[in-house]
Amino acid sequence: MELVVTEEQRELRDALRRFFADRSAGAEVRRLMETAEGHDPAVWGQMAEQLGLQGLAIPEEHGGAGFGMRELAVVFEEMGRALVCTPFLATIVAAAGLAAGEGGHDLLPGIADGSTIATLATAEDDGRWDLESVTATVTDGVLTGVKSFVPDGHIADLLLVAARDGDGVALFAVEDATGVVRSPLPTVDQTRKLARIEFDGTPVRRVGGADAVRRALDTAAVALAAEQLGGAQRTLDMTVEYIKVRKQFGRAIGSFQAVKHRCADMFVLVESARSAVLNAAAVADARPAELPAAAALAQAYCSDAYLHTAGEAIQLHGGIGFTWEHDAHLYFKRAQGSRQLFGSSDHHRARLGALAGITGAA
């Protein structure tokens, strides 16, 4: 089973794989991990100019190509496969919030052409991603509060913040840095930068209501699930490649029954994750009213599947899998970090239960 179902999607996947093979090799990923920015601005520009990725799912009237989540899922799978260090996820999630809101559409062309790096700031110091936990406030167009675990918040040109005004939780655009203090956070996954941002008397404008925030978070769940799928597939592939050539007792370890069974379990997890992503992406494009449940299901499953396959990859590589020189630990750390971003798998299972009307679900 593949995420690509049309010739255009297949061409997109192939172009992306070539592009990231040249620009996101292991040595380059490790170099970018150590930089303050966490990505290569030149590659960011090429993604926009050569591939049009930033504007792929932005409506044509706002400077984009007008495609949907199916195409974005292909992009995120390839990015996860190559461990690409980029603010693409943060920017696409923010763009989804803007597109769903009633205002701020004038900000979309800058995202589409790659001149604007954007991000969504929802969670606060308690690490919760539900709207009920939002305490940041907006009074008379001025924002006060704290946001934490903000993807690429240290470099984003545009901050979209979930905060409360007189009508409840809404989405606000921060275009003026007055009263904004950004602090990078230490992370297990060094390939993705997170920040804590303090707002003290920061001017903002309202660009959407609670529905825009929810749409952004659901988009984030599906996009991250596709990225996790790409990482899980890559850890399976590298493991299969390794067990074919690593020998013990004069035989390739891939011929041992116990090893075969573990790889088979990894394969089942990856293919099931692919089904969950395919469903969520199709729902996002064709039946948006059903997206909350599909997004929660995809994120809950893919988070756990990726963590398991990444852990198995390290185990089945033996001693070399534990070393700094091997890439297996980078995927494991990405799996750990992604499992908490935009809500843990437990959080999404609770969401799914609540949507299904299960008593006691959060």
Residue 106, pLDDT score: 94
Does residue 359 register a pLDDT over 60?
Answer: no
Domain co-membership, 122 together with 227: no
Residue 214, pLDDT score: 95
Cα radius of gyration rounded to whole Å, the chain: 20
Residue 254, pLDDT score: 58
Nearest to 239 by CA among 333, 340, 308, 324: 308
How close are the terminal C-alpha atoms of the chain, in Å? Answer: 33
Gap between the Cα atoms of 294 and 296, Å rounded: 6
Task: Give the model's confidence band at 252: pLDDT under 50 very low, under 70 low, under 90 confident, else very high.
Answer: low
Gap between the Cα atoms of 86 and 84, Å rounded: 6
Cα-Cα-Cα-Cα dihedral sign, residues 305, 306, 309, 311: negative
Q: At a CB cut-off of 8 Å and minimum separation 6, what does 89 contact?
A: 76, 79, 151, 192, 220, 223, 224, 227
Per the CB < 8 A criterion, the answer to whether 352 and 279 are in contact is: no
Segment 69-75 mean pLDDT: 94
Question: Token pair for residue 252?
Answer: 């390739």
How far from 255 is each of 252, 258, 311, CA to CA, in Å? 6, 9, 21
Residue type, 51: L
Residue 38, pLDDT score: 92
Percent of the chain with pLDDT over 70: 94
Does residue 362 register a pLDDT over 60?
Answer: no
Question: Token pair for residue 103?
Answer: 């205002």
Question: Token pair for residue 124?
Answer: 């606060």
Domain co-membership, 92 together with 140: no
Indicate the SS3 state at residue 209: coil
Residue 354, pLDDT score: 87
Each residue's pLDDT tens digit, 149-206: 999 999 999 999 999 998 899 999 998 888 999 999 999 999 999 999 999 999 999 9
Question: Token pair for residue 29?
Answer: 């990923």
Residue of 54 and 25 predicted with greater confidence: 54
Residue 192, pLDDT score: 95
Segment 225-233 mean pLDDT: 96
Domain co-membership, 251 together with 335: yes
Q: How many domains does the chain have?
A: 3
Nearest to 53 by CA among 33, 67, 32: 67
Residue of 306 and 2 predicted with greater confidence: 306
Gap between the Cα atoms of 124 and 146, Å rounded: 6
Residues paired with residue 163 on neighbouring β-strands, in sequence order: 170
Identify which of 1-10, 214-223, 322-331 has the greatest average pLDDT: 214-223
Does residue 244 register a pLDDT over 90?
Answer: no
Average pLDDT over the chain reads 90
Gap between the Cα atoms of 272 and 291, Å rounded: 18
Does residue 9 register a pLDDT over 90?
Answer: no
pTM over 0.85: yes
Half-sphere exposure of 142 (CA within 13 A, CB side): 6
Q: Is the residue at 86 inside a domain? A: yes
Provide the greatest CA pair distance for the chain.
75
Q: Is the residue at 164 inside a domain? A: yes
Nearest to 310 by CA among 273, 346, 344: 273
Which helix (H) or strand (E) segment holds residue 195: the answer is: strand 194-203
Residue 1, pLDDT score: 56
Among 7-16, 129-138, 263-272, 286-295, the minimum mean pLDDT is found in: 7-16
Does residue 248 register a pLDDT over 60?
Answer: yes
Tell how strand 180-185 and strand 194-203 pair up.
antiparallel
Percent of the chain with pLDDT over 90: 72
Residues paired with residue 60 on neighbouring β-strands, in sequence order: none
Instruction: Residue 160: give its domain's CATH number.
Output: 2.40.110.10
Instruction: Residue 266: give its domain's CATH number.
Output: 1.20.140.10
- Residue numbers of the domain that contains 84: 7-112
Per the CB < 8 A criterion, the answer to whether 73 and 3 are in contact is: yes
> Which of the listed residues 166, 183, 209 is the one where a domain comes to its end?
209
Domain co-membership, 231 together with 316: yes
Residue 294, pLDDT score: 95
Domain co-membership, 345 together with 318: yes
Domain co-membership, 343 together with 226: yes
Q: CA torsion 265→294→349→271, rounded to 10°?
A: 0
Each residue's pLDDT tens digit, 309-355: 999 888 887 777 777 778 888 999 999 999 999 988 888 998 988 88
Residue type, 119: T
Domain co-membership, 229 together with 185: no
Per the CB < 8 A criterion, the answer to whether 88 and 47 are in contact is: yes
> Which of the listed residues 82, 112, 142 is the one where a domain comes to its end?
112
> Which of the listed residues 209, 234, 260 is the one where a domain comes to its end?
209
Residue 117, pLDDT score: 96
